Structure 1
Amino acid sequence: MEKGAISILLAGDLVLDEPDAPHWLAGIAPALKGADLAVGHLEVPHTARGDELKGDVPAPGAPPENVAAIAGAGFHLLSLAGNHIADCGADGIADTLALLAKAGLNGTGAGLTLAEARAPVVMDRGAWRIGLLSYNCVGPELSWAGETRAGCAYLRIETADGSPIAPAADLVRLTDEAVSTLQTDISALREQADFVMVALHKGLVHTPARLAPYERALSHAAIDAGADVVIGHHAHIVRGIEFHRGKPIFHGLGNGCVVTSALSPAQDHPARREWAERRKTLFGFEPDPAYTLAPFHPEAVNAMLGRLTLHPDGRVETAVVPVDVLPPGRPVLATGERSEAVARYIEKITLAAGLPPIAITQDGTVTA
């Protein structure tokens, strides 16, 4: 079959803890449904059971029925390797995988064993075969899968002081182990897929612009190993975009759709209540009180989807779809002045992070 052009849409973190999930997703659904393939990152397990994982501030299991809404909004493919996917233990992962299968969604990055978690997913779109790998780069280590332990796929990043790997640790250096994992997994996937996507749960949460010391080296290592695009998420605020060897790196797609009460100080879970207050001091921000279900850094209202257009001659067009987050946390496709403001914001934070400058045209096309 002769290849035709296809479009891929990329979204960041998805946390759908609230009722009426279709409502929260409806503002970005037209863009998702307009793409040949839509990819997001499922941040938390969807389950009504499981034992709470110790080692990080645990997220609650999201309502199982909300998985169907993710499929209904237009998503096809989900990365799963993040710092919260194991928060309800093996049962939470098993339930989530079963719900994805029932909804017709494909996921990668978590499993009942490390082999399952590292296994890529490959989907056909026309004559194209698109592959995805997903890794957690921030811990906690208890969330990582083992030979006989459920959890997520991971890439080991060294801490500055040798302390255990955790989201709040000072993560600084790419390890040879991480590079070897990327080389092994990407090489194997390249034998199955025409286009390889690598999703990395990485970076500094709630912090505008700044990249952690390891992020560029890690993303470049993925491209050097054969990836065609790197998709970053975890920070809950968008990051800059760069090109390495002509291939795009979205250092952070921010929130795809996050609506949750788990970050509210007014709750009965002591660890989550304490974190809701402490993170404001740690990261120096006060959430806008109107954003009760998305109490993030005020700049997080500037959101985006990534868009790739794959052409038969091998060209890949990179673009962004500006997104505006409205109170109390609902993302919608940005228009007019807000669309322009989001584009300029992405250009600004790219420079502020020390990345080469980019330009975003009126139609969202990104050029170096």
Structure 2
Amino acid sequence: MGRGAISIVLAGDLVLDEPDGAWWLSGIAPALQGADLAVGHLEVPHTHRGAELQGDVPAPGAPPENLAAIAQAGFAMLSLAGNHIADCGAEGIADTTAGLGALGVAHCGADLTLETARRPAIVARDGWRIALLSYNCVGPEASWATADRAGCAYLPIATADGAPIAPAANLAVLTQAALEILRHDISEVRAQADLVLVALHKGIVHTPARLAPYERALSHAAVEAGADVVIGHHAHIVRGIEFHHGKPIFHGLGNGCVVTGALSPAQDHPARAAWAERRKAMFGFEPDPPYTLAPFHPEAVNAFLGTVAVDHEGTIRAGIIPVDVEAPGRPVLAEPARAMEIRDYAERITETAGLPPIMIAHDGLVTEVRP
């Protein structure tokens, strides 16, 4: 049987702590449902159980029923490896993966052991087998899976000063161990799949444009090892886009849909309340007051979904779907005037980050600007 042309839509972090997840996702659901495959990153466990993980500011468990809302919105594949997926311990991971399994949503990146956390998710679409690998690159080490501890798959990125690996640390050095994990896992999955997507939870949070020193080298290494698309998230603000050997790298897809009270100073969890205040001083921003459930950098309202179109011969074209964020945090497909602003923003932050300049057409197609 021959292969057809397929379309893939990529979303960044999903944090749905609020009731009625379907409503919060409804503003972007048409784009998700219009693709052959929609892929997102599940940031937090969905559970009513579990003990708080020590080692980072813990996120609360999200309502388990919101997993069904995520599936109904169109997501059929989710990466799980990130700095908050283990925040409710092994029980939180077990409840989340069981819930996704019951809904038929393919997932990878977190499980009860490191071996199973590193296994790919694979789906079939119109003659194509599409694999997803998922890794956390920002710690904390307490969230990493081991042979006998639940957690996430990870790529160890060293700190410049030898400090422990944690999301707020100065992560800078791409380790040989990280490269070996990437090369091994991508080589293994290439024998099982026609397209390989690699999701990396990476980068500097709450800061426009800037990439950490390791990010480009890591993303390029993934492509050189055989990845067809590299997907970045974690920063809660979008990043630039580049191509390496013709393969697209979305350095940061920002917030796919993040609505949470866990980032508000007005709460009864001391560590979360302290972090809500501390991060503003650390990263030099003040959230816009109406965004009570998405109190991020003001530029985070310039959002987008990534797109990948693959023709029957395997040629890949990348693009974006501009997304606006309405107060208090609901993402919606951008109207034409805002869409133009968001395309301009994506071009600008790409160049500001020191990446090769890109041009984004009216239809969202992204191309390199060649000299």
Mapping 1:6-21, distance limit 5 Å: 6-21=6-21
What is the Cα deviation at residue 58 of structure 1? 0.3
Q: Which residue of 1 aligns with 2:34?
A: 34
- Secondary structure at the counterpart of residue 95 of structure 2: helix
Q: Which residue of 2 aligns with 1:115?
A: 115
Mapping 1:280-295, distance limit 5 Å: 280-295=280-295
Q: Which residue of 2 aligns with 1:139?
A: 139
Query: 1:53-88 CA deviation, whole Å, 9 max, x = no partner?
Result: 000000000001100000000000000000000000
User: Which amino acid in the other structure matches residue 304 of structure 2?
Assistant: M
Q: Which residue of 1 aligns with 2:343?
A: 343
Note if 1:58 corresponds to 2:84.
no
| Structure 1: distance between partners of 2:259 and 2:28 | 14
TM-score with structure 2 setting the length: 0.99
- Secondary structure at the counterpart of residue 62 of structure 2: coil
What is the Cα deviation at residue 313 of structure 1? 1.6
Mapping 1:159-170, distance limit 5 Å: 159-170=159-170
- Secondary structure at the counterpart of residue 116 of structure 1: helix
Mapping 1:265-304, distance limit 5 Å: 265-304=265-304
Unaligned runs of 5+ residues in structure 1 are none
Q: Which residue of 2 aligns with 1:233?
A: 233
Q: Which residue of 2 aligns with 1:48?
A: 48
Mapping 1:328-339, distance limit 5 Å: 328-339=328-339
What is the Cα deviation at residue 308 of structure 1? 0.5
Query: 1:267-287 CA deviation, whole Å, 9 max, x = no partner?
Result: 000000000001000000000
| Structure 1: distance between partners of 2:191 and 2:122 | 11
What is the Cα deviation at residue 312 of structure 1? 1.2
What is the Cα deviation at residue 142 of structure 1? 0.4
| Structure 2: distance between partners of 1:120 and 1:186 | 9
Query: 1:189-208 CA deviation, whole Å, 9 max, x = no partner?
Result: 00000000000000000000
Unaligned runs of 5+ residues in structure 2 are none
User: Which amino acid in the other structure matches residue 354 of structure 1?
Assistant: G
Identity %: 72
| Structure 2: distance between partners of 1:43 and 1:35 | 22
What is the Cα deviation at residue 37 of structure 1? 0.4
| Structure 2: distance between partners of 1:121 and 1:17 | 25
| Structure 2: distance between partners of 1:162 and 1:276 | 26
What is the Cα deviation at residue 126 of structure 1? 1.3
Note if 1:191 corresponds to 2:183.
no
What is the Cα deviation at residue 102 of structure 1? 1.4
Q: Which residue of 2 aligns with 1:152?
A: 152
User: Which amino acid in the other structure matches residue 123 of structure 1?
Assistant: V
Q: Which residue of 1 aligns with 2:89?
A: 89
Q: Which residue of 2 aligns with 1:258?
A: 258
- Secondary structure at the counterpart of residue 242 of structure 1: strand
| Structure 2: distance between partners of 1:156 and 1:336 | 41
- Secondary structure at the counterpart of residue 14 of structure 2: strand
| Structure 2: distance between partners of 1:222 and 1:264 | 36
User: Which amino acid in the other structure matches residue 6 of structure 1?
Assistant: I
What is the Cα deviation at residue 335 of structure 1? 1.6
After the TM superposition, list the runs of 4 or more consecutive aligned residues in structure 1 that deviate by more than 3 angstroms: none
| Structure 2: distance between partners of 1:243 and 1:83 | 27
Note if 1:314 corresponds to 2:314.
yes
TM-score with structure 1 setting the length: 1.00
| Structure 2: distance between partners of 1:81 and 1:313 | 31
| Structure 2: distance between partners of 1:288 and 1:336 | 23
User: Which amino acid in the other structure matches residue 276 of structure 1?
Assistant: A
- Secondary structure at the counterpart of residue 177 of structure 1: helix
| Structure 1: distance between partners of 2:63 and 2:300 | 25
Q: Which residue of 2 aligns with 1:204?
A: 204
Query: 1:152-185 CA deviation, whole Å, 9 max, x = no partner?
Result: 0000001011111000110001000000000000
- Count of residues paired in the alignment: 368
User: Which amino acid in the other structure matches residue 341 of structure 1?
Assistant: E
Q: Which residue of 1 aligns with 2:174?
A: 174
Q: Which residue of 2 aligns with 1:3?
A: 3
| Structure 2: distance between partners of 1:227 and 1:106 | 19
- Secondary structure at the counterpart of residue 354 of structure 1: coil
Q: Which residue of 1 aligns with 2:365?
A: 365
What is the Cα deviation at residue 291 of structure 1? 0.3
What is the Cα deviation at residue 317 of structure 1? 1.1
What is the Cα deviation at residue 104 of structure 1? 1.6
| Structure 1: distance between partners of 2:313 and 2:22 | 37
Query: 1:273-324 CA deviation, whole Å, 9 max, x = no partner?
Result: 0000010000000000000000000000000000011111221111100000
User: Which amino acid in the other structure matches residue 325 of structure 2?
Assistant: V
